[in-house]
Structure 1
């Protein structure tokens, strides 16, 4: 398939109506692979070679460079040529695998946004910790707007929290209780020309407004440290003349999930795994989530040498960086019958962070669909069996497992860390540098091939292969699906994707 033809083809697919995921009856599937041995962890892991992972990473960076024409640097953000090229690479690779998989493209419209310029001036100060919210609309006419800073009562979740002088002013709102999008919309309804949400705890505040609303106004995040002096002045009755400026776009663009399901195996009992095919606009995303999506592609390439007892379904999600859009859409389109065919979902996002820790999502049955804890234990037993340390991390909605567990499907996964800071204790367990991010290039232009730790990537890819082989052979001892009801969480998730939502 030529580059031009395949890019045009996938662009047309993405612009077309939604294609529902086909589940074949598999009547001829066993005949296709009857002469092959049954997959095993040892056999599938044996195919994993660092040189092959490197080759795929180098190819993905070449593809990311296609996005430079529009973004002035390599990127694979949805809507870019880099992302279309990524979809082309994944699909064309799978299409060459001897009819082992049923392939489908599930197209949908995704919200995309980009902030080109921004500036916030409060009084005579320009706070250093100012960040425009993701998916924020621009200021009026994409020009600076001017007005007084107005302190909003409580947390700005109720119309009564906004004083009458909010109209024509810049709303100053504390984080908490409701989402950033709700706060921005409430400020807009009250007549604010812009909004600033300041953190209720230490640290900078970078989040997303989520699904666009006609009431959203240009919205910034601000650290608590930078905000408190202004809060005190406002409480004392001081007028703080301010200005806000954001040049941004928010729109909807067609994009595509890619699904590959084995034709062999029990089609009513599927092990499913996924990674996201897109990057942020700011960089090429070779670790985030090039490593996860390429791990899936490498394993799918070698799985064709084996027979499976249970079907294996691979997914490459679009729009994860914009708020889990692809995985949310996929699960929302499943009937209850199709939902119940998925015995578990495994999420693989960022597997080669340079300052890595071996992280396992702390998925417990008490607050997640039954089976999530058993999957967690499979990962930990693998690390223990290979004399590797590991650590549990919150199962807090930051990646594509979220929609699955919210719809009753057991889930879990592993990672190697993003912007979190490695502790001294973790450095003693995993090596690396304490006090630095697990991935110092997280969501930045330097997330290139040079950003990858191949030791961690190779080991984790073998663990992913183990997880696939284990459940492709048998679900013995794994809880059966009996319905789509899920345990109720006591606290709402602060994340829906990589950015804070509240």
Structure 2
């Protein structure tokens, strides 16, 4: 009898140890803690979507810009991938202004030296630049050289008075970046007789590279406008200060026309349509490259998440809509049109949008793990207020990463499509891994990578390909999106304690616009 008790006790001990060992297994622990949607995501599948977007760009002049055949094929790829699912797929046409250079631009000095400059290193063409072939003297307006200690110290070319007593007739205006929109600088220059405009970077750390931006889709500038590096602008300024006349040759040849491009939406067939959750990413690239991080990364993560929702048969309590926006790079045209159209034609549907999450550039190779400071508790992004509930969304992402011992840093409100929703009083948040800013030593200590280098050295360039993707951070962000979505998707009752409706524009920041495409200073 005693022997049997000993054997029984030993068996219980072995069983207990086995259970403990089983429960401490890394793989099984992951399965225990991951939600259904989070665990279903696979980096190979997400990368497969990115490879398809890159192939589309390769077959269409190297890009997927809104209004181009590459963009239209990207929309078709989203539709085809979800075609045999229960998602309700719709498209919405948006008027967009399509701009593409049809010949290589030219920038060269004619005198006192004969020098040809390199596209991408010394200069690029600003989107919506006018076309023209100009040989003329350059004239600086009112630069701050050396630059001020802080960004936007220079007000060069921001007021019409800056151009008084300067003869610009037929000449090339050279203006420093800072404190106002690029199209304002270019417009004043053209109105005062300039035949072309060169806008050079301001000169502080992180503001020395070539300016890659747009004059906004509403620009009426008709003369060539190029963006220059600070180094080139400084060299030209130094030459003019010696009393020499500097003559330049500027050429831009571009197609500029209004056309249509589509937002595409995938909506769950089930779920409470009085509380709609929208997740969005912009599907368009710039014309300079295929846009695989910006913003193929967000687009592909959402596409694979939608596909897994359908494959798993997940039925959310609250309706979920995936949105792939057009013409974000042109000034948030797709998301702004969507909301304005609802306000005009279906305000009840606008009121049923409970929250919005935006994912623009979530796989930068020299990344930060950025969570948007959606309530501006740390970073003042210029909004008088942000919609109640936005801080809750931010905290959901912070809690997710903290539970996995993954450090984060706050990032400002991104000036991407989330701004459109902020402006309509809809609780919003976002993840981002950085674009043209330079990584700090403190950020290297948190995330690794290289200090003093851009988060994405291929931002808005032809090298923004699948080779430009950090797969580890892409999967981590995709899984965070899935986890947060599932938690809100399964909530019974109100998603937030408070929800305050506001009129459109009531929450606009003092400087509205896109943080990495519009000419926001």
**2:406 is the alignment partner of 1:388:** yes
CA contact (8 A) 1:111 1:252 kept: yes
Question: Where in structure 2 are the equivalents of 1:228-239 lying within 5 Å?
Answer: 228=234, 230-231=236-237, 239=245
**2:136 is the alignment partner of 1:147:** yes
CA contact (8 A) 2:282 2:324 kept: yes
**2:123 is the alignment partner of 1:130:** yes
**2:84 is the alignment partner of 1:96:** yes
Give a deviation string over 1:388-425, Cα, whole Å, max 9, x none.
0111122141x221211122222221122223332232
Deviation at 1:270, TM superposition (A): 0.9
Q: Residue 326 of structure 1 aligns with which residue?
A: 334
CA contact (8 A) 1:187 1:217 kept: no
Q: Residue 4 of structure 2 aligns with which residue?
A: none
SS in 2 for 1:165: coil
Which blocks of at least 5 consecutive residues in structure 2 are unaligned? Answer: 1-32, 143-154, 377-383
Give the 3 Å change call, closer, same or farther, for CA 367–164 of structure 1 in structure 2: same
SS in 2 for 1:347: strand
CA contact (8 A) 1:111 1:250 kept: yes
Q: Residue 9 of structure 1 aligns with which residue?
A: none
Q: Residue 11 of structure 1 aligns with which residue?
A: none
Q: Residue 173 of structure 2 aligns with which residue?
A: 171
- The equivalent position to 1:285 in structure 2, one of 285, 291, 305, is 291
CA contact (8 A) 1:173 1:198 kept: yes
Q: Residue 28 of structure 1 aligns with which residue?
A: none
Question: Where in structure 2 are the equivalents of 1:431-446 lying within 5 Å?
Answer: 431-446=448-463
User: What TM-score comes out, normalization by structure 2 length?
Assistant: 0.79
SS in 2 for 1:113: strand
Deviation at 1:497, TM superposition (A): 4.9
SS in 1 for 2:479: helix
Structure whose CA Rg is larger: 2
CA distance in 1, matches of 2:169, 2:298: 47
Give a deviation string over 1:256-286, Cα, whole Å, max 9, x none.
1101222322212111111111222233222
Q: Residue 189 of structure 1 aligns with which residue?
A: 191
Which blocks of at least 5 consecutive residues in structure 1 are unaligned? Answer: 1-39
User: What TM-score comes out, normalization by structure 1 length?
Assistant: 0.82
RMSD: 2.7
CA distance in 1, matches of 2:366, 2:201: 28
**2:98 is the alignment partner of 1:112:** yes
- The equivalent position to 2:390 in structure 1, one of 362, 372, 376, is 372
CA distance in 2, matches of 1:263, 1:355: 39
- The equivalent position to 1:303 in structure 2, one of 293, 306, 309, is 309
Deviation at 1:307, TM superposition (A): 1.8
Deviation at 1:381, TM superposition (A): 0.9
Give a deviation string over 1:411-445, Cα, whole Å, max 9, x none.
22112222333223222212233333333333333
Q: Residue 157 of structure 2 aligns with which residue?
A: 156
- The equivalent position to 1:360 in structure 2, one of 359, 371, 382, is 371
Give the 3 Å change call, closer, same or farther, for CA 296–146 of structure 1 in structure 2: same
CA distance in 1, matches of 2:509, 2:338: 26
Q: Residue 483 of structure 1 aligns with which residue?
A: 502
CA contact (8 A) 2:136 2:248 kept: yes
Give the 3 Å change call, closer, same or farther, for CA 240–61 of structure 1 in structure 2: closer
CA contact (8 A) 2:513 2:520 kept: yes
Give a deviation string over 1:338-357, Cα, whole Å, max 9, x none.
33221221111222223322
Deviation at 1:379, TM superposition (A): 0.8
CA distance in 1, matches of 2:224, 2:303: 40
CA distance in 1, matches of 2:478, 2:38: 8
Deviation at 1:129, TM superposition (A): 3.3
Give the 3 Å change call, closer, same or farther, for CA 103–41 of structure 1 in structure 2: farther
CA distance in 1, matches of 2:58, 2:436: 24
